Structure 1
Amino acid sequence: MTGPRAVVIGVGNDYRHDDGIGPAVARRLESLRIPAVRVAQCDGEPTGLLDLWAGLELAVVVDAVRCDPPAPGRVWRTTVEDLRGCPRAAGSHALGVADALPLARVLGQAPAELVVVAVEAQCLDPGVGLSGPVAAAVPDAVAAVLSELARLGLRPAGAGPPD
């Protein structure tokens, strides 16, 4: 058996409403048991990310963002570099990821490719449970991650080849 080729990192905090989208998506993906894919949850602290993605072909980070104008529940694929252009990526950990990537490159621990699946948050206040629009976006976020993994031929066990 070979080791993982990719990692999916659900970044967030289940006790800050929509900030829990990353962990929610990670839990859903973990249940799929995708061969050669490690699924993890992280609070977004930069050094905590380094060990998770070191030496892998692909790291997919799932995180909540808040942009202006708001569109709660919108799922989009981006890169760390492009996310810096979101003027109000407030309340997310994407900036922690952005800090971690240059450090990882210097230390030789960066993944070959890093993709962010961003889900726009409605509420990042303390409390449990995703808002309606963000909860409804979980399947779309899972599908976005699966699409990224499929580019490497990584699919859930029992899933056939692409159509």
Structure 2
Amino acid sequence: MPSSTRSGLQFRIDGGGAFTDAVARLPDGRLRSLRLLSDTPGRYRDAAIEGIGSGGCRERRLAHALRTHAKGGPMKAFTPTAVIGIGNEFRRDDGVGPAVVELLRDRAERRPLPPGTVLTLCDGDPGRLIGLWENTGLAIIVDACFLPSAQPGRTYRWDAAAGGALRPAAPGRHSTHGLGLAEAVRLGDTLGRSPGRLIVYAVEGTDRTLGVGLTSAVARAVPPLVRRIAADIEQHDDASEDDRAQGDPPGGTRRTGFGTRG
């Protein structure tokens, strides 16, 4: 699973068996690699994140190489707000993220969002997610979740200011190697590439078979969610205006915790 956190830097995570391999390719072509046991209770929670971010000597060298490039590479231009829709619109309810972004775009034609707001899509790959939310004042993620006893259309909100924990995705949810949004958040923290503030909306779905179009319950959840996200953006913009008036730098408040169901 190739990923990129900045132009010229790539990493690959290959897991799912007894071992997890992490390989980083630096802009000058050099490789940094390591192999960890995938399941080691009590030592680390996630082999992929441990491999890139911490652990023994070889792991520290890989993390150091990634961090050094993060500090030395060209800075991405600051983005006040980014709304990122995760999912596959060709797998029914898994397309709720793209559907929300599409409706936000339509709404913005009638009621423009604050200047600098970016609306974009992502397949959930951790490297691409980090690249999208890096140096962003507020990142809002919209994704589907599929629970054993789902109530289609029910929406959860995970916010920096509320406390709590973002649960890891089930294996294979966002990639063939089991890395998901929770892992991307931890990896962003490890690399120092988290947004100023992160809000996640997860909408319960029931159908992720091949096909286009949301199920009716999930489709009904999209318009109110769009209104709620627009309100989040406006509130963030108002707070940023207050910060600028007081001479504070852009970027908002660093992520310190997690949120609640809404």
- TM bin (shorter chain): 0.7 to 0.9
> Structure 2: where are the runs of 5+ without partners?
1-76, 239-262
Give the superposition deviation at 1:91.
Answer: 7.5
1:67-82 counterparts in 2 under 5 A? Answer: 67-79=147-159, 82=165
- Residue 237 of structure 2 aligns to a residue whose secondary structure is coil
Which residue of 1 is the match for residue 98 of structure 2?
23
Give the superposition deviation at 1:57.
Answer: 1.4
Structure 1 position 102 matched with structure 2 position 186:
yes
Distance 1:20 1:44, change over 3 A: same
> Structure 1: where are the runs of 5+ without partners?
155-163
What TM-score comes out, normalization by structure 1 length?
0.81
Which residue of 2 is the match for residue 83 of structure 1?
166
Distance 1:66 1:38, change over 3 A: same
Distance in 1 (alpha carbons) for counterparts of 2:208 and 2:171: 9
Distance 1:119 1:91, change over 3 A: farther
Which residue of 2 is the match for residue 14 of structure 1?
89
Structure 1 position 141 matched with structure 2 position 221:
no
Distance 1:151 1:65, change over 3 A: same
Give the superposition deviation at 1:147.
Answer: 2.4
Q: CA RMSD for the aligned pairs?
A: 2.6
- Residue 8 of structure 1 aligns to a residue whose secondary structure is strand
Q: 1:60 aligns with which of 140, 152, 164?
A: 140
Query: Which amino acid is the alignment partner of residue 7 of structure 1?
Result: A
Which residue of 2 is the match for residue 126 of structure 1?
210
Distance 1:7 1:36, change over 3 A: same
- Residue 58 of structure 1 aligns to a residue whose secondary structure is strand
Query: Which amino acid is the alignment partner of residue 62 of structure 1?
Result: V
Distance 1:120 1:139, change over 3 A: same
Which residue of 1 is the match for residue 130 of structure 2?
50
Which residue of 2 is the match for residue 37 of structure 1?
117
Give the superposition deviation at 1:43.
Answer: 0.5
Which residue of 1 is the match for residue 79 of structure 2?
4
Between Structure 1 and Structure 2, whose CA radius of gyration is higher?
2
Query: Which amino acid is the alignment partner of residue 149 of structure 1?
Result: I
Q: Percent identity?
A: 39
Give the superposition deviation at 1:69.
Answer: 3.2
Give the superposition deviation at 1:79.
Answer: 4.7
Query: Which amino acid is the alignment partner of residue 183 of structure 2?
Result: D
Distance in 2 (alpha carbons) for counterparts of 1:148 and 1:11: 18
Query: Which amino acid is the alignment partner of residue 119 of structure 2?
Result: V
Distance in 2 (alpha carbons) for counterparts of 1:62 and 1:46: 14
Please say if residues 117 and 144 of structure 1, whose CA atoms lie closer than 8 Å, have aligned partners that are also in contact: no
Distance in 1 (alpha carbons) for counterparts of 2:172 and 2:226: 21
Give the superposition deviation at 1:134.
Answer: 0.7
Please say if residues 50 and 104 of structure 1, whose CA atoms lie closer than 8 Å, have aligned partners that are also in contact: yes
What is the aligned length?
151
Give the superposition deviation at 1:59.
Answer: 0.7
Please say if residues 64 and 92 of structure 1, whose CA atoms lie closer than 8 Å, have aligned partners that are also in contact: no
Distance in 2 (alpha carbons) for counterparts of 1:111 and 1:67: 27
Give the superposition deviation at 1:140.
Answer: 1.6
